[in-house]
Structure 1
Amino acid sequence: MTITTDHARAGAAGSLWLRLAAIALPLPLIAPAFWNRYPLLQWDTGGYLARWYEGYLVPSRSTVFGIYLHYGESSGFWINLAVQSLATLWLLQLTLRVLSMMQTFRFVVISLLLILSTALPWLASMLLTDIFAGLSVLSLFLLVVGGPRTSALEKISLFVFTAFAAATHSATLGVLLGLCIAGWMARPLLGPRLPIAGLAQASLTILAGGLMLVSANHALSGKWTWTPGGTGVAFGRMMQDGIVARYLNDHCPREKLKLCPYRDQLPASADEFLWGKSMFNALGRFEGMNDEMGTIVVGSLADYPAWQAGAALQALGQQLLHVATGEGTNGWIPHTRGIIERYVPSQAAPMRAARQQNWGLDFDTINWLHVPVALASMLALVALLAHALANRRLDDLTLLAATITLALLGNAFICGVISGPHDRYGARMVWVATFTVLMALARRLGEDSKAR
């Protein structure tokens, strides 16, 4: 009797510690920000933050995300990190629950492994749209397959979250739209595995996100329009691949283009052209060059289809391998620093005192772990999907693996082909592959323990 009582007490104590660990998880998830003594910033953060104050639209800077940042100013943006941390853990546990895998111990272990081995805590600690890219894929998946396993309140929350995430970045919206299209195409083959009601709800989030973005653009700029910039970003990638120089050489003798006098002086990279000190500034930047860049993009697609296809495939492949953590998050972020000092002066002092602004961040050591884990996760994800299909095992975990695989390919295509390969684009999505692989391992270990 005493032994039984001791075991019961030990079990209760262990359960208590597990619950406490689960409750405490939001803190280690934003540990990088605590270590930094301020939310992490990125080169693009200032462009989003300034949208509330400047009253006009700039390329690739969502006003919806700008408003989200603005409402966190009074807390030093810590409220934003709290939202990001809690939303992340909510979606992780909800995914485990919908797939009938939710156990406190399993949730804590998987969460800690993601915190230790992926970019997830750095994304959750940063004032940038990237955290919502991977999370939105999970929320869209749960909307489709959740059905009776989620409450009405959870469905509403998933819908609102997915729509908001879609409105924060055009690439995220594009990935989610592609997943919805793929879902409708697969519906005749998979039948009830992809419920029509779930697909309809997921698809409506894209429309809601678009309306949210256009409404926010109107509220801040007075214009009912989409966020500008897609053409310029695509132009930059084509310039980087040498396609623009070839187009100018072929057309300048007979067409008057603003770039013709500079055709032999084009920068080597798109970032240098669009954001550095290049002729782009002298020619009026996006306002002065949008029409011409659009003409060159469309014209070069028609003139060099084989070259464009080859460059697109190469960019897609390169983007899949660009998965390192921390791109654009070093101490050199003068634009973001200037925006905070100009529009949120109360945050200037704590921002300047952070380790990041004093060059205290170094991702080289971190990426010795993060990059191999990310690449191995993608390989394991493909192996998991191939094994399930070979054995004709079409459960929800297989559907999740297929969804994440399509999301990674869609993200690589949209970001790599349009903008050019960047580590930031890969790191913000690949951690979801690690999460899926960890779930598969946990299920396998659980099945093995039951077999014994």
Structure 2
Amino acid sequence: MVGKTSGGEGITTRILRARAAEPAWVWATAIAIPLMLLAPALWNGYPLLQWDTGGYLARWYEGYLVPSRSTVFGLYLHFGEGSNFWINLGIQALATLWILQLTLRVLGMAKPLRLLGMSLALTLTTALPWLSSMLLTDIFAGLSVLSLFLLVLHGDKISGIEKFALFAFTAFAAATHSATLAVLLGLCCVGWAARPFLRDRIAVAGLVQGTLTTVAGAAMLLSANFALSGELAWTPGGYGVAFGRMLQDGIVARYLRDHCPEQHLKLCPYRDQLPATADQFLWGNSMFNALGRFKGLNDEMGFIATHSLAEYPLWQAEAAIVATARQLVHVATGEGTNGWIPHTYGIIERYIPAQLKPMRAAHQQHWDLNFAGVNWLHVPVALVSMSLVFAMFASAVFRRKADDLALFTGTVSLALLGNAFVCGVISGPHDRYGARMVWVATFVMLIAAVRRFGRDDEPRDDSFSL
């Protein structure tokens, strides 16, 4: 009979029954998911902190620019200080909920129970709840890829208010970290290059809006830098971080051996004593401190970095490929989130002493955090998810398929590769840079699994939204 399922129940009846039960599930989903996303912070008793958190917190108070610390994110943290930063975590959890459900909605998969199930899977198997619970820019890296995907490729399925909100969110995310801005800009460039071949799927209006988010993010960062420091300048530190990666690869030692002492560089006396890693050089007790850190060595590091590119191009290219490949597999959760973060503790003690008591009472400050067990699950899930996303994208390209799932896998694949290139080549491979992006690949796999194994007779109802 027309309109009947194999069990004899009409599809219309099932839709009506589902809609009658939906309000309760919408409310349950809207409450349960933020709680799941903030479970680590709720257990900790205070927002999770990281090595770099203090540098962002200090931007409001110190009034000058420091390498790799966005003033925009510093202002965002200052906004939440009065709530012990729980406002910030609330914003992060709600933004995650909103973007996850909006992604499902534009893909025609918006159901409360489905969103709840996927969120639970992401909470248990990826770094997502740890990112949401932390005072760090990393949560915005993966979310901004999803928000750009929605704005550029599915703008016709969302309202004007949602477009405005996505635009503002993506611009803000771009302003929180230069690597995030670079990944988003790279995705837009690929979109413009692909449009002649995908005219029916990639609208010019969407690409323009997406590209303008990066422009707005850059303008936001420059404005915040000027407002806090009086300098109309980009956040410093790019040369220093790139120099650190070249030092780690042995390129700096080779350059110093080839050009000292005729160039009279400050590092020449230390050319045989350079630390083995960039972290030891930049953040440890090295000659970097004795030579004035970034203020004293920034020009020299920039000089060596740029001249090394010209003198050893093949070595640099090989190092870049190796760094990108290594970054792709550095995906463990929790790097830099432990009990030993003295700089962040010192910043809170100096500028926000009212928060010392709850901060010191937290589990993290008692060394109760250990990610070894977590990563027995997170790392294989991340690597398998990433491999499958790459395989799906390659298959779609080979078959010249351009449906919404193919475009989604393509966007995420390029974002993962771009993130690995930018972070691996500039900063050197770190688990933190991989974990903040790779959870999106697991989200793609959950969507693909539902598409592949979901019930064909399930009534479609795309009206659900939060």
Which TM class, normalised by the smaller chain length? Answer: over 0.9
Q: Tell me what 1:398 maps to.
A: 406
TM-score normalised over the length of structure 2: 0.93
How has the CA–CA distance of structure 1 residues 387 and 448 changed in structure 2, closer, same or farther, with 3 Å as cutoff? Answer: farther
SS across alignment from 2:200: helix
Q: Distance in 2 between matches of 1:391 and 1:55?
A: 54
Q: CA deviation at 1:432?
A: 0.4
- Equivalences for residues 52-451 of structure 1 within 5 A: 52-446=60-454, 448=456
Q: Tell me what 2:464 maps to.
A: none
Q: Is the 8 A contact 1:388 1:398 kept in 2?
A: yes
Q: CA deviation at 1:388?
A: 3.0
The number of equivalent residue pairs is 446
SS across alignment from 1:193: coil
Q: Tell me what 2:5 maps to.
A: none
How has the CA–CA distance of structure 1 residues 221 and 18 changed in structure 2, closer, same or farther, with 3 Å as cutoff? Answer: same
Q: Distance in 2 between matches of 1:8 and 1:285?
A: 65
Q: Distance in 1 between matches of 2:18 and 2:157?
A: 29
SS across alignment from 2:198: helix
More helix by share: 1
SS across alignment from 2:253: helix
Q: CA deviation at 1:254?
A: 1.6
Decide which moves more: 384-393 or 266-275.
Answer: 384-393
Q: Distance in 2 between matches of 1:57 and 1:350?
A: 29
Aligned counterpart in structure 2 of residue 34 of structure 1, from 19, 27, 42? 42
Deviations 1:226-247, CA, capped at 9 Å, x for gaps: 0000000000000011110000
Q: Which amino acid aligns with 1:27?
A: L
Q: Which amino acid aligns with 2:454?
A: G
Q: Distance in 2 between matches of 1:172 and 1:9?
A: 43
Question: 5+ unaligned residues in a row in structure 2: which ranges?
Answer: 1-8, 460-466
Q: Is the 8 A contact 1:218 1:225 kept in 2?
A: yes
SS across alignment from 2:144: helix
Q: CA deviation at 1:15?
A: 4.3
Q: Distance in 2 between matches of 1:388 and 1:305?
A: 34
Q: Is the 8 A contact 1:322 1:423 kept in 2?
A: yes
Deviations 1:35-71, CA, capped at 9 Å, x for gaps: 1000000000000000000010000000000000001
How has the CA–CA distance of structure 1 residues 433 and 9 changed in structure 2, closer, same or farther, with 3 Å as cutoff? Answer: closer
Structure 1 vs Structure 2: percent identity of aligned residues? 68
Q: Distance in 2 between matches of 1:142 and 1:15?
A: 25
Q: Tell me what 1:18 maps to.
A: 25
How has the CA–CA distance of structure 1 residues 9 and 226 changed in structure 2, closer, same or farther, with 3 Å as cutoff? Answer: closer
Q: Which amino acid aligns with 1:431?
A: W
Q: Distance in 1 between matches of 2:453 and 2:270?
A: 61
Q: Distance in 2 between matches of 1:309 and 1:158?
A: 36
Q: Distance in 1 between matches of 2:198 and 2:324?
A: 28
Q: Distance in 2 between matches of 1:188 and 1:8?
A: 40
How has the CA–CA distance of structure 1 residues 156 and 15 changed in structure 2, closer, same or farther, with 3 Å as cutoff? Answer: closer
Q: CA RMSD in A?
A: 1.8
Q: Distance in 2 between matches of 1:358 and 1:365?
A: 18
Deviations 1:298-336, CA, capped at 9 Å, x for gaps: 111111111111111110000000000000001000000
Q: CA deviation at 1:11?
A: 6.5
Deviations 1:108-156, CA, capped at 9 Å, x for gaps: 1111111111000000000000000000000111110122211000000
Q: Is the 8 A contact 1:18 1:108 kept in 2?
A: no
SS across alignment from 2:264: coil
Deviations 1:58-115, CA, capped at 9 Å, x for gaps: 0000000000000100000000000000000100000111111111121111111111
